[in-house]
Each structure stands twice: as structure tokens, then as C-alpha cells.
Homo-oligomer: A and B are copies of this chain.
Amino acid sequence: MEFELIHRYLRRLDSGAGIILGVGDDCALIAPPPGRWLAVSLDTLVSGVHFAEHTPAYAVGWKALAVNLSDLAAMGAEPGFFTLGLTLPEADEGWLSGFAEGLFALAERERVPLVGGDLTRGPLAISIEVHGWVTPGKELRRRGAQPGDVLALTGPVGAAGLALRRLQAGVSAIPPGLRARLDCPEPRLRQGQALAGRAHAAIDVSDGVAQDLGHLLRASGVGARCELGRLPLAPEVAAHVAATGDWSLPLAAGDDYELVVALPALTAAELCAELGLTAFGEVTAAPGVAWIAPDGREYRPDRGGFDHFAP
């Protein structure tokens, strides 16, 4: 049964450039492109923790791959291939079929083959490892931001969090564009690759821009001064902030999977124009982050972002 299910739903798109051996042996085999570094990232999504129990299977499949590809994007890496560890409570073929549709919709669009993995019985969870390639010295690390750098985002923050809040409040009519930000995030692969060797540092926003920017700044040994009024926001998020004065949604809700990048001051304007980035702050030599509200006063975020083991 286990092998039939793998064969029927998951053995698809398992070949491609450099893939010597895909699904079906003890290991997959890959011929690395000469002169490049391998980038790897493993992320696990657990039902009821990373996605609500009744999330459509399609969205679970898409998102599980998207959040991993987002890590490659944040490194400026080109996607190579991925592996999947899927744990299912029962052999629910309807669910598995929807999951595979979402997963392969993104995998096929980005031409990232699934080369192997594991299907087991247990509480619903998905582990994916993505593998990509970067040119040595051009990778985007968290460390590397310099005083004077411009901080920019590849897209709006807070929309995934707003969709989640509305879902949790039982709101049924959520605009599809807002819902898509939660269910089917877009990994910023093209921007990440275009910034490789050109940005000083990057991170993807999974736990909220306040927390993830903090990681980047601490790794770089610097601080920042940011303007809340320049943060890119979806219209619904802008309306929420205007109505409540509460910035925690764009700052700390997480799940956005945009990239925060530190750009050299000299080329920042050009890079923002070329790649559709929005500048929202500046790196400072002094540590810590000052968030300046539109009225000019400093805003202090309440919480730092998502922590799986917060007391």
C-alpha cells in the first residue's frame, strides 16, 4: 500500500539536469554542477501548528514546498531538487491527491524535481529538504549588512497574518488575494538570485519582519532605523493598521515569505527599481532597531514574533 501510494501520487517529476537516480533506491544520486556550492534547508510543517487542520490539501502541498524554496531564495540560490518526508494518519487518497496537486504545481513551475523521501503513518506533518546551488562568494548570508545600507522588502508584510486572524475568527468571506498570501505564498526565487553578489545580506520573513530583521542585524553586528510608514502593506492590512493603530500584524504575524535585504547605498535605488523592492529603513552602526511611526514617534513592538516554545 505504502509503495503503491508513493508510486501513484508522489513519483512524478523525479528527473532533470544532474539527477542521476531519483525515487526508488536507498538514496537519490545527483551530479553537482562543477564549481558551485550546495545550499540545503530542511523545514517541517505540522498540522495544527504551521497550518490549520482544515487547510485544503492543495494549499498544504504548495506551502510546504514554498516555505523551503523561500530559504533558497534568501540565500540567492538556484533551486536544484527536493526530498519529501510525509507523515499521514491514514491512507486518505483524496487528501494525498490534493496535496500532490499543490506540491507539483509549484515544483513543475519552478522545475524542481522530487528525488526521494519517505511516506509513513503518524500525525499529519510534512518535512521537505530543498537543495540548490550558489556561486561561491555570491551567496546571500544574514551576516554582511553594513552601516548605511538600505533595508528593503520584496513585497508586502502582514497579509498572511490578517488572513489567519480572520479564519480563526470564523470570517468566511476572505478576499482570495489575501487568503492566497496565507495558503500559497510565493518564494522570491528570482529576486533572490538577482540579488546574489549584489545585496550585502538577506533573510526571509517567516516569523515576522521585526524578529527576522533582528536576526539579520545581530548576525551582522549592526542596528537599524526603520519607518513603519514605508513598510509595503496589502490594502486590507493598511486599513487594519489605520483603524487600530496596531502595527503588530505587519511586524510580527509572520508567514509572509518575503525577503528582507540589505542593499549597498550606492546601488539601492537601482536595485529597488529593477526588482520591485520597497525600501523601508537604513542600517546603523549602533545595535537595536528603532521603528519610527508616521507621526515621527518611536513605536515599540509588543512581541518579537513567533516562538514555538514560548512560555
Contacts and interface: CB of A to CB of B under 8 A. Distances in A.
A87 B120 CA distance: 15
A310 interface: yes
A125 B118 CA distance: 13
B40 A38 contact: no
B27 A40 contact: yes
B85 A42 contact: yes
B37 A307 contact: no
A132 B29 CA distance: 9
A154 to B, nearest CB: 14
Contacts of A295: none
A204 B25 CA distance: 10
A147 to B, nearest CB: 21
A254 to B, nearest CB: 13
A121 B26 contact: no
Contacts of A37: 20, 29-32
Contacts of A41: 26-28, 83, 116
Given A34-B34, A37-B20, A72 B27 contact: yes
Interface string A89-121: 011000000000000000000000001111111
A62 B86 CA distance: 21
Interface of A: 1-2, 5, 20-21, 24-32, 34, 37-44, 46-50, 71-72, 74-75, 77, 83-88, 90-91, 115-123, 125, 127, 129, 131-132, 134, 136, 139, 141-143, 202-204, 219, 307-311
Given A2-B309, A46-B87, 16 more contacts: A2-B308, A20-B37, A20-B136, A21-B141, A26-B202, A29-B139, A32-B32, A40-B131, A41-B116, A42-B84, A44-B118, A46-B121, A47-B122, A91-B309, A118-B127, A127-B127
23 contacts: A1-B307, A2-B308, A24-B219, A25-B142, A26-B75, A27-B74, A27-B75, A27-B77, A27-B132, A29-B37, A29-B39, A31-B37, A32-B32, A32-B37, A40-B131, A41-B83, A44-B118, A44-B125, A46-B121, A85-B127, A87-B125, A121-B309, A127-B127
